[in-house]
Each structure stands twice: as structure tokens, then as C-alpha cells.
Structure 1
Amino acid sequence: MPLTHIGILHEDPTFLIVDKPTLLLSVPGRAEDNKDCLITRLQENGYPEARIVHRLDWETSGLLVIARDPDSHRELSRQFHDRETEKTYIALCWGQPAEDAGHIDLPLRYDPPNKPRHMVDHELGKAAQTFWRVTERLERYCRVELTPITGRSHQLRVHMLSLGHPLLGDRLYAQGEALDACPRLALHAARLGIRHPLTGTRMVFDSPAPF
């Protein structure tokens, strides 16, 4: 598959910064019809050495860093593991939170009977924390800035749902008007800050939300 709709914001010998579109997997899925993905498209179109460092959900768009050699992959992976990266997401959530900002600290786990959904579980869940801030209030929904401290699957989606404000267009967690209010999941990885894997220089990249 071609690199159509995948923007390359930065390129040097050690890593790429790419802008993933919605409805594209980060890595191949298990099913035969889920082989098309961002990393495969990169590897087949000029970047055979590309290595995934972190992922975004199929429906989530936005910034990803891709390593281009084993040492860079090791160092960038360490930065994510040690929470030295800066990640900011923009989302649209249904309704109006009573406060303008807050902190969510709710443990999450996979919910096998309802796969691929995740759920809050205070006994078996893994620690998960998210900071949120309203940046714009509209008539039926609001724009929020989300900063995850941890990186659990579906963390931002489940955390906002726990407040009673599901993300617009979320086919897993939203219902009714919230689901119909946007033709796609309204979640975009808008800012990514890392240290250059070779020089250690702090670098920050931005991608405006497409909604």
C-alpha cells in the first residue's frame, strides 16, 4: 500500500515523526485482513528499517515516532517506558464537565467479554492517570486537552467516559447523540516531545487536530 495520507513531519537518520490518519492500524493485526498498517506502509515505501516505538489506536490520528536503527529504537522505547516523553491529545467530549480541569486516577484492565473494550477495575486494573483541561465549550460538547501520565490501552477514552463525558464518535464507548455527533473518533495525538536518541536534544512536534 502507498504512503497515502501519512504525513512525515521530521526525518533524520535515527527516527521519523509521522502523522497517522484515522482508520489505520499502527502495526499488523492478527487477522489476515488486518495486515495493512502504518509500519508496513513505511517499510514498503522507502523505509525498510522502520521500527515501531509506540502505538495509536486504529481510530486515533496523530503523531508517532518511528525508530530507524536498533540503538535509536532502544533509546526511544526507554524514554516512553520511563515516562520522559511529552504527549498531548486533543479530543471532543460530549456534554459539559462541571470543572474546567481535573485529574483522573482510575486503574484499567481489558474486558474480555466485551473485547476490545477496557474498563475501570479497582482490584485487578493497572494504574492509569490522565490530566484533562477544557479549552473550548460549545453547545453540546467541548474541546479538551488530555495529557496521559501512563499509557494504557483506551486510557483516554475510558477515563473521559468515567466522568460521564464520552468522546464524540467513539464506536466502542459512546452511544446515541455522542456517537452520532462526529463521523470519526474525535481523538488526535497533537503534541509529542522526545529527546533526540543520539544527541539528547529536546524536540517537540505538533499536529493540529483535524476536527
Structure 2
Amino acid sequence: MIQNETRLFKFPKFSELIIHEDENLIVINKPPFVASLDEREGGEVNILRLAKKYHPDAQVCHRLDKETSGILLIAKNPETYRTISIAFEKRKVNKIYHAVIGGTHTFQDLLV
């Protein structure tokens, strides 16, 4: 994998990632190759830092792998954060994953 993939594409403004916002919640479409939270090495752009610049009380309710794009829920207050985090923790949230693949594949023996 290429190191520092974030440099390979133009990163949009945080406001351009928002697909829904209300008084309690921000829903974004997270781009690939951007961490949801601070990484141990630190320093790189991540969604939590961008969200806190947009709304100071923002908290990422769950995470997506750095390489993964998709919907990410960001709470604007502690109550919403707690409610959503508990729902994820107790596996009450239904998740749907889509993958884009190239070429011809046989999936008879594939187990995910």
C-alpha cells in the first residue's frame, strides 16, 4: 500500500462531507485514507479534528477504518454521543457493507 494516501486526492472541506445535520447530529460521508480518530503517530488530518473545528463539542460516535469510505455519525452533545455509542456497542445498529471489485471472481468458497 502506498504511504500517505491522503496526499493522492484533494481533501474536501468538512462542510462538503456533511449529508445530514440537525441540532444533535452531523452525518458525513467519510472519504477513504483519512482516519476517523487521532492515530498513535498523530499529526495527520483526521475526522475528529475537522469535526471539532466545525463544532467544538463534536464527538465521533463510531469509527471506520482509515482506508474505508462511508457514513460516519458525529454527535454534537454528550447525550447524543452516549446514546449512539451504546447502540453500536450493543450491536443494535444494522451495518451494510458494499465492496467494489475488479475482474472475474468465483464466490462459492468465500466466507466473510
Shorter-chain TM-score: what band? Answer: 0.7 to 0.9
Larger radius of gyration: 1
For structure 1, the 5+ residue unaligned runs are 105-158, 160-211
Superposition RMSD in Å: 2.4
2:23 corresponds to which letter in structure 1?
Answer: P
2:26 corresponds to: 16
2:20 corresponds to which letter in structure 1?
Answer: H
Q: Looking at secondary structure, tell me which structure has more helix per residue.
A: 2
Secondary structure of the 2:106 match is coil
Residues 67-121 of structure 1: per-residue CA shift (max 9 Å, x gap): 110111111111111111121110135721127xx8x5xxxxxxxxxxxxxxxxx
Secondary structure of the 2:100 match is strand
For structure 2, the 5+ residue unaligned runs are 1-10
Q: Specify whether residues 41 and 18 from structure 1 end up closer, same or farther in structure 2 by C-alpha distance, changes over 3 A only.
A: same
Say if 2:14 and 2:50, in contact at 8 Å, map to a contact too: no
1:26 corresponds to: 36
- What's the CA shift for 1:42? 1.5
TM-score (norm 1): 0.43
1:41 corresponds to which letter in structure 2?
Answer: L
Q: Specify whether residues 92 and 40 from structure 1 end up closer, same or farther in structure 2 by C-alpha distance, changes over 3 A only.
A: same
Secondary structure of the 2:98 match is strand
Q: Looking at secondary structure, tell me which structure has more strand per residue.
A: 1
Cα distance in 1 for partners of 2:87, 2:62 equals 11
Secondary structure of the 2:70 match is strand
TM-score (norm 2): 0.77
Residues 163-196 of structure 1: per-residue CA shift (max 9 Å, x gap): xxxxxxxxxxxxxxxxxxxxxxxxxxxxxxxxxx
Say if 2:34 and 2:67, in contact at 8 Å, map to a contact too: yes
Indicate the percent of aligned positions where both proteins have the same amino acid. Answer: 30
1:53 corresponds to which letter in structure 2?
Answer: C
1:41 corresponds to: 50
Q: Specify whether residues 6 and 38 from structure 1 end up closer, same or farther in structure 2 by C-alpha distance, changes over 3 A only.
A: farther
Higher RCO (CA-CA < 8 Å; seq separation 6+): 2
2:6 corresponds to: none
The structure 1 segments of at least 4 consecutive aligned residues displaced by more than 2 Å after TM superposition are: 1-6, 92-95
Q: Does 1:81 align with 2:89?
A: yes
